[in-house]
Amino acid sequence: MAFKFLKTRRGYFLTLDAIVSMLLLLGIFLLVYSLDYQSIRMASGTKHLASDMLTVIDKQYGATVLANTTGVRTVVESMPLCASVALYNSSLSLIYAYPKQGCSSSQADVDVAYRSIVNDTGTSLVPYLLEGKVWSG
């Protein structure tokens, strides 16, 4: 008799299992889409922007970055977000720094990238350090 009852009620158990599975799947789906992916994407993207900015400066101006400050400023001004570039000598003394015009000086979430540049003077190799910062604001 007990087996006869389970045979007739089997469809209810499968339906209940499917409903619980669908509710669980819906809950996970809503949880995933409720996260703020824009800020996650932005945080990783600005780091790449800072690195890309320094790559462009290095590829276009290379060791002439000391003399070609106008070109460096042009690259900084063309950035889609707020940015700044600083050049340091081998003893990490600041040679120059160019922030993008019109950006706030409060740099809350700043992504920083560094790139080394070597200037061949003919008699020696002189290392320099480029620092690129990108932030939204």
Residue 40 has pLDDT above 60, yes or no: no
> Which residue would you say has higher pLDDT here, 38 or 127?
127
Q: What average pLDDT score do residues 9-34 get?
A: 75
pLDDT at 124 exceeding the cut of 70: yes
pLDDT of residue 34: 67
The predicted pLDDT at position 88 comes to 92
CB atoms within 10 A of CB 67: 10
Q: What are the pLDDT digits (tens) for 42-98? A: 555 667 888 888 888 888 887 677 777 888 888 888 888 888 899 998 898 998 888
Determine the topology of domain 42-135 in CATH: Beta-Lactamase (3.30.450)
pLDDT at 11: 56
- pTM over the 0.95 mark: no
Residue range 107-125: mean pLDDT, rounded: 82
Q: Tokens at residue 103, please?
A: 């950006």
Interatomic CA distance for residues 128 and 89, integer angstroms = 5
Residue extents of the structural domains in the chain: 1-35, 42-135
The letter for the amino acid at 21 is: S
Return the exposure string of 79-105: e unless at least 16 CB atoms fall within 10 Å of the residue's CB, then b: bebbbbbbbbeeeeeeeeebbbeebee
Check pLDDT > 70 for residue 36.
no
Average pLDDT score over residue span 126-136: 87
